[in-house]
C-alpha cells in the first residue's frame, strides 16, 4: 500500500460509475499485489486513446480525455455486442476503459466498427489505511422492507440498440401524462448515465439503476444478486410513492443474465406485463413467442422496428399482440388499455 493525497483524488476525473462513492473514505492505494474484484474502485492513468475519447462524469458531462489523465473507474465485466466483451483482470497490469461510464476491464473482443479500446494503466485500488478495499457495494442503497409499486412493467428486447430504452422512456412519458407517479429502473447492463437522465426527462419522478444497488455492471453477476437488488430498488421506488414502475432489462434474450431473468419465476412474479422491443419483424415475433412460452403477459411490441411500416405489418400478421409506436406508448389511451390488461391479469391470477 501507499498513501494517497486527497488533492490527487480531487484532481482525477471521476466517472458516472463511481458517483455514489465518498472519496473521503480512502487514504491509500493497494498497488502491485492487489487482485481486482468487480466493483473495486481504481485510480488509473490514461495511456492511449481508443474508441472512448471521453469519460462520462457524475453530472452527465462528457469530459475529453488526454493521455496522462488520471481517472477514477470501477472494475467490471462488460457484455455489449455493438461495443466490447471484457472481463475484470486478475492483476493490476495495464488494461482498458471499456465504457464511457467508467468501467475498467480487459477487452477480449469488440465490434468491427470500433477502433479498439482506450488503454489505461491502473495506479492502484482505493482502500482504507487498514488495507481494506472499499467496493461499490459498500455504497449501495440500504435494504428496506416495504411493498413494491402497484404496477410493474418490464421492457425486454432482441439485443443492444433494439430500442428498449426509447420504449421504456415512452412508457414513462405516457404514464406520467396520464397522472401516474412513475418510477424508472434499469436492472442490468453497464454503468451509463444517459438512460437514467432520459427517464428523468420523460417524466419519471424517481430513477434508479443497478449502480444504486452497488453494481458497476451486471455481466457475470449471479441471478440471486440481481433478483435481490431488483426487489430492493423496486421497494425504494415505492417508498418514493411511485405507483407505477417501468423496468428495463438490457441486451437480448440470448444474453446469459437476461435469459436467466426471463426464465426466473422470482423475476416473472414481479411483472404485471412486459413490452418487447425489436429492430426487425422476425426478432419481434421470436421474442414475443419466447416470452409467451414463459407465461409472460406480453402487452405489445415496440422499438426500432416501428420505423418500418412493412415490418410492422409482418409483426401484426404473426403475433397476437399490438405493435406500438413510441408516440402510441405516450398516448393516455394506450396507457388506459395497458392498465386494463394488467388489472385483468391480476384478477385472473387471483382466481
Tens-digit pLDDT profile for residues 201-211: 999 999 999 99
- The set of cell numbers assigned to 74 is 470501477
CB 183 within 8 Å of CB 149: yes
What pLDDT was estimated at residue 34? Answer: 86
Tell me how far apart the alpha carbons of residues 220 and 31 are, in angstroms, rounded to a whole number.
25
How would DSSP label each residue in 30-97? E-TT----TTBEEEEEEEE--S--EEE-TTS-EEEP-TT-EEEEEE--EE-TTSEEEE--SSSSSEEE
Tell me how far apart the alpha carbons of residues 17 and 324 are, in angstroms, rounded to a whole number.
33
What pLDDT was estimated at residue 270? Answer: 96
What pLDDT was estimated at residue 348? Answer: 56
What pLDDT was estimated at residue 1? Answer: 82
pLDDT at 280 over 80: yes
Alpha-carbon dihedral of residues 249, 251, 253, 255, nearest 10 degrees? -120
Conformational region of residue 214, where left means phi above 0, alpha means psi within -120 to 50, and beta covers everything else: left
In the predicted model, what is the mean pLDDT of residues 93-118?
97
- The set of cell numbers assigned to 180 is 401516474
What pLDDT was estimated at residue 346? Answer: 60
pLDDT at 350 over 80: no
Instruction: Note the pTM of the prediction, 2 decimals.
Output: 0.94
Residue 115: phi, psi to the nearest 5? -80, -10
pLDDT at 326 over 70: yes
Q: What band does 349 get if pLDDT is binned at 50, 70 and 90? A: low
Residue 80: name the closest of 198, 197, 162 by CA: 162
The domain locations on the chain are 2-139, 151-350
Please tell me the CATH code under which domain 151-350 is placed: 3.40.50.300
In the predicted model, what is the mean pLDDT of residues 195-200?
96
Please state which of the ranges 107-111, 278-282, 319-323, 341-345 shows the lowest mean pLDDT: 341-345
Tens-digit pLDDT profile for residues 163-184: 999 999 999 999 999 999 999 9
Tell me how far apart the alpha carbons of residues 60 and 256 are, in angstroms, rounded to a whole number.
29
Exposure letters 151-185 (e unless 16+ CB within 10 A, then b) = bbbbbbbbbbbbbbbbbbbbbbbbbbebebbbbbb
CB 32 within 8 Å of CB 89: no
Q: What is the DSSP letter of 271?
A: -
Query: How does the average pLDDT of the chain come out, rounded?
Result: 95
The residue with cell 421470436 is 286
Tens-digit pLDDT profile for residues 234-251: 999 999 999 999 999 999
Tell me how far apart the alpha carbons of residues 173 and 244 are, in angstroms, rounded to a whole number.
12
pLDDT at 61 over 80: yes
Q: What band does 341 get if pLDDT is binned at 50, 70 and 90? A: confident
Tell me how far apart the alpha carbons of residues 287 and 269 are, in angstroms, rounded to a whole number.
19
Residue 337: phi, psi to the nearest 5? -65, -40
Burial class of residue 297, CB neighbours in 10 A (0-12, 13-18, 19+) = buried
What pLDDT was estimated at residue 134? Answer: 86
Tell me how far apart the alpha carbons of residues 195 and 92 are, in angstroms, rounded to a whole number.
30
In the predicted model, what is the mean pLDDT of residues 310-321?
96
Amino acid at each position: 500500500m501507499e498513501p494517497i493525497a486527497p488533492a490527487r483524488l480531487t484532481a482525477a476525473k471521476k466517472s458516472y460509475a463511481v458517483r455514489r462513492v465518498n472519496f473521503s473514505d480512502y487514504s491509500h492505494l493497494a498497488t502491485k499485489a492487489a487482485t481486482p474484484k468487480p466493483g473495486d474502485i481504481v485510480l488509473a492513468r490514461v495511456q492511449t486513446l481508443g474508441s472512448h475519447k471521453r469519460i462520462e462524469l457524475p453530472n452527465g458531462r462528457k469530459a475529453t480525455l488526454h493521455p496522462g489523465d488520471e481517472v477514477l473507474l470501477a472494475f467490471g465485466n462488460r457484455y455489449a455486442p455493438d461495443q466490447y466483451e471484457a472481463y475484470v483482470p486478475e492483476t493490476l497490469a495495464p488494461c482498458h476503459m471499456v465504457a464511457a461510464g467508467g468501467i475498467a476491464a480487459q477487452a477480449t473482443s469488440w465490434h468491427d466498427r470500433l477502433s479498439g479500446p482506450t488503454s489505461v494503466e491502473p495506479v492502484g485500488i482505493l482502500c482504507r489505511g487498514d488495507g481494506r478495499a472499499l467496493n461499490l457495494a459498500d455504497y449501495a442503497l440500504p435494504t428496506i422492507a416495504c411493498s413494491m409499486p402497484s404496477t410493474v412493467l418490464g421492457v425486454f428486447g432482441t439485443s443492444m440498440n433494439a430500442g428498449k430504452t426509447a420504449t421504456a422512456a415512452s412508457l414513462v412519458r405516457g404514464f406520467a401524462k396520464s397522472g401516474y407517479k412513475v418510477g424508472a429502473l434499469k436492472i442490468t447492463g453497464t454503468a451509463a448515465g444517459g438512460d437514467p437522465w432520459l427517464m428523468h426527462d420523460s417524466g419519471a419522478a424517481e430513477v434508479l439503476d443497478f449502480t444504486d444497488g452497488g453494481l458497476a455492471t451486471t455481466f457475470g453477476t449471479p441471478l440471486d444478486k440481481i433478483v435481490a437488488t431488483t426487489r430492493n430498488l423496486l421497494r425504494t421506488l415505492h417508498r418514493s410513492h411511485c405507483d407505477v414502475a417501468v423496468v428495463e432489462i438490457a441486451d437480448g434474450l440470448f444474453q446469459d443474465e437476461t435469459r436467466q431473468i426471463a426464465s426466473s419465476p422470482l423475476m416473472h412474479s414481479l411483472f404485471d406485463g412486459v413490452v418487447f422491443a425489436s429492430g426487425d419483424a422476425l426478432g419481434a415475433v421470436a421474442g414475443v413467442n419466447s416470452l409467451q412460452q414463459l407465461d409472460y403477459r406480453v402487452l405489445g411490441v415496440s422499438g426500432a422496428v416501428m420505423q418500418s411500416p412493412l415490418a410492422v405489418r409482418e409483426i401484426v400478421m404473426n403475433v397476437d399482440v399490438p405493435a406500438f409506436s413510441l408516440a402510441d406508448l405516450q398516448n393516455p389511451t394506450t396507457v388506459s388499455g395497458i392498465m386494463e390488461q394488467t388489472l385483468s391479469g391480476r384478477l385472473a391470477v387471483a382466481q
